[in-house]
Amino acid sequence: MSLTVLTVVGARPQFIKAAPVSHAFAAHGGIREILVHTGQHFDAAMSDVFFEELDIPPPAHNLEVNSLGHGAMTGRMLEKLEEVMIAEKPDWVLIYGDTNSTVAGALAAAKLHIPVAHVEAGLRSFNRRMPEEINRVMADHVSTLLFCPTQTAVANLKTEGITKGVHHVGDVMYDVTLAAVERGKGRSKILERNGLAPKTYAVATIHRAENTDDPQRFARVIQWLSDRGREMPVIMPVHPRTRKLMEKSGVNPTGVRLIDPLGYLDMAWLTHNASGVFTDSGGLQKEAYFHGVPCVTLRDETEWVETVEAGWNRLWTTAEYKPRRDITDYGSGDSSSKIASLIASSKT
- On the question of pLDDT at 40 being above 90, the answer is no
| Interior angle at CA 135, CA 264 and CA 268, nearest 5 | 10
Spatial distance between the Cα atoms of 53 and 262, rounded to a whole number of angstroms? 11
Q: How confident is the model at residue 47 (pLDDT cuts 50, 70, 90)?
A: low
**Using one digit for the tens of pLDDT, what is the confidence trace for 157-168?**
999 999 999 999
Spatial distance between the Cα atoms of 143 and 176, rounded to a whole number of angstroms? 24
Phi, psi (degrees; rounded to nearest 5) at 93: -115, 125
Q: What is the DSSP string of 56-83?
A: PPPPSEE----SS-HHHHHHHHHHHHHH
pLDDT of res. 174: 95
Task: Please state, rounded to an integer, the average pLDDT across all residues of the chain.
Answer: 92
CB within 8 Å of 292: residues ≥ 6 apart: none
Spatial distance between the Cα atoms of 328 and 178, rounded to a whole number of angstroms? 15
**Using one digit for the tens of pLDDT, what is the confidence trace for 318-336?**
999 999 999 999 999 999 9
Share of residues in the chain with pLDDT > 90 (%): 76
Does the annotation count 207 as an active-site position? Answer: yes
For residues 287 and 13, the answer to whether their CB atoms sit within 8 Å is no
Comparing C-alpha atoms, which of 103, 109, 51 is closest to residue 84?
109
Share of residues in the chain with pLDDT > 70 (%): 97
Spot the catalytic one: 207, 239, 272, 291.
207
**Which of 58-62, 86-90, 133-137 shows the lowest mean pLDDT across its residues?**
58-62
pLDDT of res. 344: 96
Spatial distance between the Cα atoms of 85 and 61, rounded to a whole number of angstroms? 11
State the maximum Cα–Cα separation within the chain, in Å, rounded to a whole number: 61
**Using one digit for the tens of pLDDT, what is the confidence trace for 230-256?**
999 999 999 888 888 999 899 989 889
pLDDT of res. 282: 86
233: amino acid identity, one letter: P
Q: How is residue 41 annotated by DSSP?
A: S
**Which of 15-24, 78-87, 197-206 shows the lowest mean pLDDT across its residues?**
15-24
* Domains and their CATH numbers in the chain: 3-171+331-345 (3.40.50.2000), 176-315 (3.40.50.2000)
**Helix (H/G/I), strand (E/B), else coil: 298:** coil
Highest mean pLDDT among 48-52, 301-305, 342-346: 342-346
pLDDT of res. 303: 85
Q: How confident is the model at residue 50 (pLDDT cuts 50, 70, 90)?
A: low
CB within 8 Å of 213: residues ≥ 6 apart: none
- On the question of pLDDT at 183 being above 90, the answer is no
Spatial distance between the Cα atoms of 225 and 256, rounded to a whole number of angstroms? 7
Q: Which helix (H) or strand (E) holds 116?
A: strand 116-119
pLDDT of res. 44: 55
pLDDT of res. 45: 53
